[in-house]
Chains A and B, each alone.
Chain A
Amino acid sequence: MGADVFHSEVPLTVNGEARRPTVDHRSTLLDVLREQLGLTGAKKGCDHGQCGACTVLVDGRRVNSCLLLAVSLEGREVITVEGLAPAGGDLHPLQRAFVDRDAFQCGYCTPGQICSAVGAIAEARAGRASHVTDPAADVGAPVELTRDEIRERLSGNICRCGAYPHIVEAVEDVTR
């Protein structure tokens, strides 16, 4: 398959590696990761931005890869759950904490939960407020990730197995 009016070659970085897939313009980042690049860590739970299982980091920010057209990502840096830990190295601290806390059962939402948590921790450190942050808090000051903050910030990731309390504990393990 080559580039034509309905397909484009898209140079981008995935987990630190330069890739140039030729993508159908209709393909989402999620489908390119899963079907073309063999990276099935990001999951398809709803395909409509309603569950968070497909969460990855693009230029360091967490996003739903099911709603991002791959063709629009030229030059962007994508990190999936497979790229969080150094190759052959130990687990990322959040991955370790999820195992320690048994913060999942079926595991299908887990890669999205972990990528989302990586993004959420960075957002809080950058002083970004959430719906439950006191509006009177200092603008720009790092937000302390209380349990209520973690719950709100990870509410874009549905876990049908109901591991939420353990997910909160796992995030606390790496933020305290």
Chain B
Amino acid sequence: MKSFRYLRAHSVEEATAAHAGRPGSRYLGGGTNLVDLMKMGVERPRTLIDVSGLPLDAVEELPDGSVRAGAAVRNSDLAAHPLVRDRYPVLAQALLSGASGQLRNAATTGGNLLQRTRCPYFQDLAKPCNKREPGTGCGAREGVHRDHAVLGHSPQCIATHPSDMAVALAALDAQVELHGAHGRRTVPAADFHRLPGDRPDLDTEIAPGELITGVRLPAATAGLPSAYRKARDRASYAFALASVAVVLDVDGSLVRDVRIAFGGLAHRPWRALRAERALVGGPVTEEAFGRAVDAELAAAEPLPDNAFKVPLARGIACDVLRRLSTAPTAA
């Protein structure tokens, strides 16, 4: 790790201006992934701009009934907030299924979205990785890839996005608020992360120097029955082999609306639009759930050692759909 300058930003504008003026800058949130990557030499900032103390640490209800969580809100605080626990249980569950109590106390909302893949080839500077160093190749495709993508991967990259939180945000139709030199904008959480294509070095739609200032949880998905399920190699403190976030609105025996997102299967949280379309307006039956999820996973292109992810994802998705559809109606 090379020496770097350290600046503490006191406002969003100060942070983005500092970033614009200093090539090689990185924003520092909780540091749980950035410092990790700096130690490995994957990230080599010349300046760290500490944004963890910005006044972006509130979770609040907005007049339109949506909920806004600041980018500096710690994962544990977001999971514990009454507005989140009451209205968006899938988000609280996703957060609490990730990492450890210590990491959640440090990791921020913004940083969680920006965490990098845990692909071992990405993390090892002595190995090829198109994400870390475009044009060097992909070590994982012909190598160890049990944990890698089955959906939406490209010849250049088969990495998965490791976040649990982002999967819930994608399913909730959340928006990501960005602030850059050219002003503010919002991007749907489901579109915030990219597929690798021929630019696997770009994880997200964020522009250079843009800062995540918060996420907006829409009123439309507030209070709907929702849940998160994660399958993993050990009972806790492990990344997902596959996970699913489901927000289900049932009207009697029919699906009024449904949102499904998978984690651990792709370079981004995988919003299962095809499955959702197949379910909306249809019957609430296990057969319908299975058919819809199968339709979504038909697009899977597993690699030799990760074909298991398809039946695994199918199983947990159908299980959560069934549980949500049979649970006593939530408030």
Contacts and interface: CB of A to CB of B under 8 A. Distances in A.
Given A47-B39, A67-B31, A128-B76, A62 B105 contact: yes
B82 A155 contact: no
Contacts, number: 115
B102 A130 contact: no
Contact of B52 (A28, A67, A72): A72
A153 interface: yes
B105 A119 contact: yes
A48 B42 CA distance: 13
B86 interface: yes
Contacts of A152: 235-236
B140 to A, nearest CB: 20
Contacts of B86: 139
Interface stretch (B91-99, B184-192, B299-307): B91-99
Nearest to A115: B102
Given A48-B36, A64-B102, A72 B237 contact: no
A153 B100 CA distance: 8
Nearest to A137: B85
B329 interface: no
A152 B39 CA distance: 28
A26 B2 CA distance: 8
B32 A64 contact: yes
A131 B96 contact: yes
A-side interface mostly:
loop
Contact of A156 (B39, B80, B103): B103
A64 B106 contact: yes
A50 B96 CA distance: 16
A28 B35 contact: yes
10 smallest CB-CB distances across A and B, nearest first, come from A156-B100, A155-B236, A6-B3, A131-B96, A128-B80, A25-B6, A61-B105, A139-B85, A155-B237, A67-B35
20 contacts: A6-B3, A6-B4, A25-B3, A26-B3, A62-B102, A63-B106, A67-B32, A69-B28, A71-B6, A74-B8, A129-B79, A130-B101, A131-B93, A131-B96, A135-B85, A135-B93, A151-B236, A152-B235, A155-B235, A156-B103
